[in-house]
Amino acid sequence: MNAAATQVGPPDPQVRAEADARLAGLATPPGALGRLGELGAWVAATQGVVPPRELTDVRLVIFAGDHGVAAHGVSAYPPAITGAMVRTFVAGRAGVSALAAAHGVAVRVLDLGVDDDLEGVPDDVRRHKVRRGSGAIHLEDALTPEETRAALAAGERVAHEEIAAGAQLLLTGDMGIGNTTPAAALIAAGLGLPASEVTGRGTGVDDEGLRRKQEVIDQALRRAGDRVDDPVETLTALGSADLAATVGFLVAAARAGVPVLLDGVISVACALTADRLAPGAVAWFAAGHRSTEPAQSLALDKMGLEPLLDLGMRLGEGSGAVAAVPVVRSAVALIRDVALLAEIAP
Ligand SMILES: O=C(O)c1ccc[n+]([C@@H]2O[C@H](COP(=O)([O-])O)[C@@H](O)[C@H]2O)c1
Ligand SMILES: Cc1cc2nc[nH]c2cc1C
């Protein structure tokens, strides 16, 4: 991955104009399709064709890793849950597995930095591992610069694999006890906000846990200093292997011209960082679901994205993105299949 920021062009503006014209000509009153109209036109522009093709190949990649901060009282759960949940994704028994099965979404889970060595888990899950866990970001860097580069490259590689295999729409998910702390730190770094504005309860910490988490984020931001001005250095100081890989995946998808549906606060923190690394990448992203974490809404506002769903979920795993897939398919069906007013009007 080239650390220098290089611009990413938007979905084809000419195709977008054609899609907007088709939308305006449908046998519906102007604006009657609400945000579904705009969404269908966006999908058409990402595909470069009007009307857009049906989304038959939709793929979720879940990036898993452990986080050094989890040993410092920032989560309601122990780190051992991360590896246990990776095995649960492999077995197809997690929350996101149920949603993905219901909506015809393929799920791939990758271990970038789980503490557990995941013996017995298929090799495809394990072969991208960069390290075990990550540094506790308030005390030390999350990664070495080489590990950050390796994780970005792993995410990029995986995006290329999924696209080569036929992905029309990609989704990002995450699994990692403690990961709402580095995600909030990435958002604070990207938006220049204090810890007090970005800290949320994650898996459900109590008031004492919330106070500790805010202190950890504040200390991490002070430790990183002006390194937060650079997105790659931000990942080294405040991220983790799983978050850096997600950033690499998002940048590669945008550069390849494949749209991505984002999930909760971790996915959105990585999208914000991807857009800092590759300005313009955000034009290839849509937001699936609003998280209860305050940092996610702050980052979405900055990127100009409005989530398709707001169901109060805070599961992660890519669940909010998968739940929004039927909405995206609905948008495509409308702009594809509705008659033009000119065809039916007497
Ligand atoms: O997606 C979200 O916005 C979200 C909000 C809260 C928690 N999570 C999930 O819960 C875990 C992190 O929460 P925590 O409290 O351990 O930082 C991690 O596995 C995430 O997938 C996810
Ligand atoms: C059980 C459990 C499942 C999860 N899925 C994503 N994050 C999670 C955190 C916990 C604790």
Find the CATH number of the domain harbouring 18.
Answer: 1.10.1610.10
In one-letter notation, the amino acid at residue 259 is P
What does the pLDDT read at residue 345? 86
What does the pLDDT read at residue 269? 99
CB 125 within 8 A of CB 110: yes
In a domain, 112, yes or no: yes
The answer, yes or no, to whether any atom of ligand 1 lies below 6 A from the CB of 314, is: yes
Q: Tell me: do 216 and 284 sit in the same domain.
A: yes
Q: Tell me: do 163 and 212 sit in the same domain.
A: yes
Q: Tell me: do 26 and 72 sit in the same domain.
A: no
Write out the DSSP string of 16-43: HHHHHHHHHHBSS-TTTTHHHHHHHHHH
In a domain, 85, yes or no: yes
Find the CATH number of the domain harbouring 291.
Answer: 3.40.50.10210
Task: Give dist(CA 191, CA 130) in Å, integer.
Answer: 28
In a domain, 8, yes or no: no
Q: Tell me: do 156 and 96 sit in the same domain.
A: yes
In a domain, 3, yes or no: no
Cα separation values, 4 from 7, 232, 233, Å = 10, 9, 12
By residue range, what is the domain housing residue 297?
58-325
Q: Which of 156, 306, 317, 343 is catalytic?
A: 317
> Whole-prediction pTM value?
0.98
In a domain, 6, yes or no: no
What's phi and psi for 177, nearest 5 deg? -60, 130
**Domain count along the chain:** 2
Query: First vs last Cα of the chain: how many Å apart?
Result: 57
In a domain, 4, yes or no: no
- Give nearest CA residue, ligand 2 atom 4: 315
The answer, yes or no, to whether any atom of ligand 1 lies below 6 A from the CB of 88, is: no
Task: Give dist(CA 211, CA 140) in Å, integer.
Answer: 20
- Give nearest CA residue, ligand 2 atom 8: 315
Mutate to test the pocket of ligand 1, among 109, 203, 208 (most ligand atoms within 8 A of CB): 203
Q: Tell me: do 42 and 174 sit in the same domain.
A: no
- pLDDT less than 70: residues of the chain: 1-5
